[in-house]
Amino acid sequence: MTISTTLLFSRAVSLMGHQQSELAALQEKVATGKELVRPSDSPDLAVNISRIKASIDELDAYKNSLNAVNDRLRIEESYIGGGKDVLIQLKQLALQGANGTVNGADREVIAIEVDELIAEMKNLANGTDANGNFLFGGSRVASMPYVEESDGVIRYQGDNFRPNIDYTANRRSPIGRNGLDVFKPVLSGASTEPVPGVYDITLGGTLEPTDSFTVVIDGQAFGHEVRPGDSVPQVLGRLAYQINEAGRVGQLSNLEAEVVDGALRVRALDGVARQVSAGSENGLEETDDLFSETTDGGQGGTVQVSLSGTMERGDALRLSVGSRSFTYHIDGDEGGMSPTTPAAVMESFKAAAEASGLFAQSVTLTIDPDNSQSLLVSPVRDNVGRIGFETIERTNINDQSVRVVMSGEPTPALPERVDFFESLQELAHVLRTGTQNQIEGKLDHLDQMLDIITLSLADIGAEMGSIDDEISINEDLKLQLQSTLSGQEDLDYASAITKLQARMMSLEAAQSSFAKISQLSIFDYIR
């Protein structure tokens, strides 16, 4: 093979050009300190680096949000702490006023001081953040939450809203508090008269994943599907939260839910009975007419449902009317099933379905007078929707599965509630016109207020501690990501300089050899 001088020169120039290009790339990396100068150098590495930077930016955003909330909580703490100081002063004045040795003129002087402290408390309750937004008005941040109306009474104008904060992409929690959280009504007196509207719902047995638990209040369902590791208090607590949130947004009124002694207590604050039902599903599987027969009543006609066969604990009956459905679970004690006969089951199902209130405006339920095992479902108006009935068999039933026990027995009514500022204004009033006993009666209100305020301060402290912990976790994650980013993005200077020196020597050698070869010609061989 013959290599021409032109080809030899071309290859040499091309080789030196390639070496110069590599040398320039290395010099640029050394100058920038980055392994990746431009995305085109390594697309895969560029994508990884971009993802890591996005995660770091996200953590920075969460940190900024958490710091902002911490700042708000510190301001809240300042105002609420000031409120506690005011209450302590008010209690001292009330004790002075309750002293039998003071006369009317002395009490008038004390009442004037009380008026001034009430005005100070009102200013604290109308506190604002650094942006001028009112802290304790819920979602109504632009308007004053506590306003003295024409009758002289200071009333709350805000709502129950609590803002949410995103701790992470998967964790959100309400933070801060509104006026109803801090300046709560106080209880006045005591009541022993039983009233309707208090329901205790208890879970028994062992919760298993995919089990579900539902509470229906006035036709509105609140449910929770059990997740691995869930405990009974956790399930009940989440249901209580759902019910209380429904009250906050106006879906339910005058209801309060909490977990008391291992039970979910749903309490009607107005003492008015509610339609409340509860049930559980344990791996339920629908079957085709396991032990029931349904006669279609046609368009707008009565549907007849008949039960027969053997029913077992954990089986269920489900009636649907239009978009609403009610499921009744056949359950009982460890020793056996209750009710035990088809007739008794049908009677119990009818009573439970009526108590749910779901079908009060659409159908009537009647036990067939000719057959106690049959139920007549009759529409009370047109267009109630399709009426359906089905039987359900629990496939994984065992004695350790979750069971629901519900008690709607009347319990003592709550004592009367007195508005926070109304109670303070009553203190000023009884100092002027009341008796010593009436003044002493206000001391209990002040003690309750102090307890509420102190608890709010403790909650704020816990929230701030939780936020600080979350910030620390975020910082640790950020450091890990930055370390990973540095490992992929930052240049290994020792290795790069070694490569740079090697490329320079190689280029110099190529240039030197090219200079020597370029001087040769064929005439050097024929002299």
Phi, psi of 66 (to 5 degrees): -65, -40
Q: What is the pLDDT of residue 287?
A: 43
- Work out the pLDDT band at 120, boundaries 50, 70, 90: very high
pLDDT average, residue stretch 72-77 = 89
CATH number of 285-394: 3.30.70
- Work out the pLDDT band at 113, boundaries 50, 70, 90: very high
The number of angstroms, rounded, from the C-alpha of 513 to the middle of its chain's C-alpha atoms is 75
Q: What is the pLDDT of residue 210?
A: 63
3 state SS of 453: helix
- Work out the pLDDT band at 200, boundaries 50, 70, 90: confident
In 99-231, which ranges are continuous DSSP H helix? 104-125, 179-182
Query: In degrees, to the nearest 5, what angle opens at C-alpha 166 toward C-alphas 163 and 167?
Result: 125
Q: What is the pLDDT of residue 513?
A: 62
Q: What is the pLDDT of residue 290?
A: 44
163-175: pLDDT as tens digits: 666 666 656 666 7
387-414: pLDDT as tens digits: 888 777 654 433 334 455 555 544 445 5
Q: Of the spans 292-301, 309-318, 401-410, which averages the highest pLDDT?
A: 309-318
- Work out the pLDDT band at 353, boundaries 50, 70, 90: confident
* Cβ(183)–Cβ(125) below 8 Å: yes
3 state SS of 149: coil
Question: Per CATH, the architecture of 51-188+417-479 is what?
Answer: Up-down Bundle (1.20)
Bridge partners of residue 377, in order along the sequence: 303, 365
For the stretch 501-508, contacts whose Cβ atoms lie closer than 8 Å and that sit 24 or more positions apart, written own/partner, are 503/19, 503/22, 503/23, 503/26, 504/23, 506/19, 507/16, 507/19, 507/20, 507/23
- Residue count of the chain: 527
Among the residue ranges 31-35, 198-202, 322-326, 443-447, the one predicted with the least confidence is 31-35
What does each C-alpha distance from 407 to 200, 267, 314, 411 come to in angstroms? 5, 12, 19, 10
Q: What is the pLDDT of residue 109?
A: 92
pLDDT average, residue stretch 315-320 = 79
Q: Where are the beta strands (DSSP E) in 122-270?
A: 146-148, 154-156, 164-168, 171-174, 186-188, 194-195, 198-204, 212-217, 220-225, 255-260, 263-268
Percent of the chain whose pLDDT exceeds 70: 64
CA distance 375 to 307: 9
Q: What is the pLDDT of residue 86?
A: 94
Among the residue ranges 27-31, 181-185, 217-221, the one predicted with the least confidence is 27-31
CA distance 326 to 219: 10
Q: What is the pLDDT of residue 116?
A: 94
* Cβ(390)–Cβ(286) below 8 Å: yes
Q: What is the pLDDT of residue 497?
A: 65
CATH topology of domain 194-281+409-414: Alpha-Beta Plaits (3.30.70)
Q: What is the pLDDT of residue 90?
A: 93
Sign of the alpha-carbon dihedral angle for 117, 121, 126, 132:
positive
Least Cα distance to 176 among 433, 393, 462 occurs for: 462
SS (H, E, C) 155-186: EECCCCCCCEEEEECCEEEECCCCHHHHCCCE
Instruction: Say whether pLDDT at 346 is over 80.
Output: yes
CA distance 345 to 288: 19
CA distance 470 to 62: 9
SS3 of the chain: helix, strand, coil, percent, to 5: 45, 20, 30
The number of angstroms, rounded, from the C-alpha of 121 to the middle of its chain's C-alpha atoms is 31
CA distance 58 to 169: 9
Residue that wins the pLDDT comparison between 10 and 66: 66
pLDDT average, residue stretch 435-442 = 86
Bridge partners of residue 228, in order along the sequence: none
CA distance 470 to 468: 5
Number of Cβ within a 10 Å radius of residue 453? 23
Least Cα distance to 401 among 174, 204, 117, 114 occurs for: 204
Residue that wins the pLDDT comparison between 286 and 6: 6
Q: What is the pLDDT of residue 336?
A: 40
Sign of the alpha-carbon dihedral angle for 339, 343, 346, 350:
negative
Sign of the alpha-carbon dihedral angle for 162, 168, 170, 171:
negative
Q: What is the pLDDT of residue 395?
A: 45
Share the mean pLDDT of the chain: 75
Strand order in the sheet with 255-260: 255-260, 263-268, 198-204, 403-407
Instruction: Say whether pLDDT at 478 is over 80.
Output: yes
What does each C-alpha distance from 252 to 99, 255, 332, 413 come to in angstroms? 46, 7, 31, 19
Residue ranges, CATH 3.30.70, the chain = 194-281+409-414, 285-394
pLDDT average, residue stretch 262-274 = 77
304: amino acid identity, one letter: Q
Phi, psi of 200 (to 5 degrees): -110, 125
pLDDT average, residue stretch 274-278 = 74
Q: What is the pLDDT of residue 402?
A: 47
Instruction: State in Å, rounded, how far the first CA of the chain is from the last one.
Output: 24
CA distance 349 to 316: 9
> Exposure string (b/e) for 89-124, b if CB count within 10 Å is 16 or more?
bbbebbebbbeeebeeeebeebbebbbebbebbbeb
CA distance 291 to 302: 20
338: amino acid identity, one letter: S
pLDDT average, residue stretch 434-446 = 87
Among the residue ranges 42-46, 155-159, 176-180, 254-258, the one predicted with the least confidence is 42-46
Instruction: Say whether pLDDT at 337 is over 50.
Output: no
What does each C-alpha distance from 219 to 193, 276, 321 come to in angstroms? 28, 8, 13
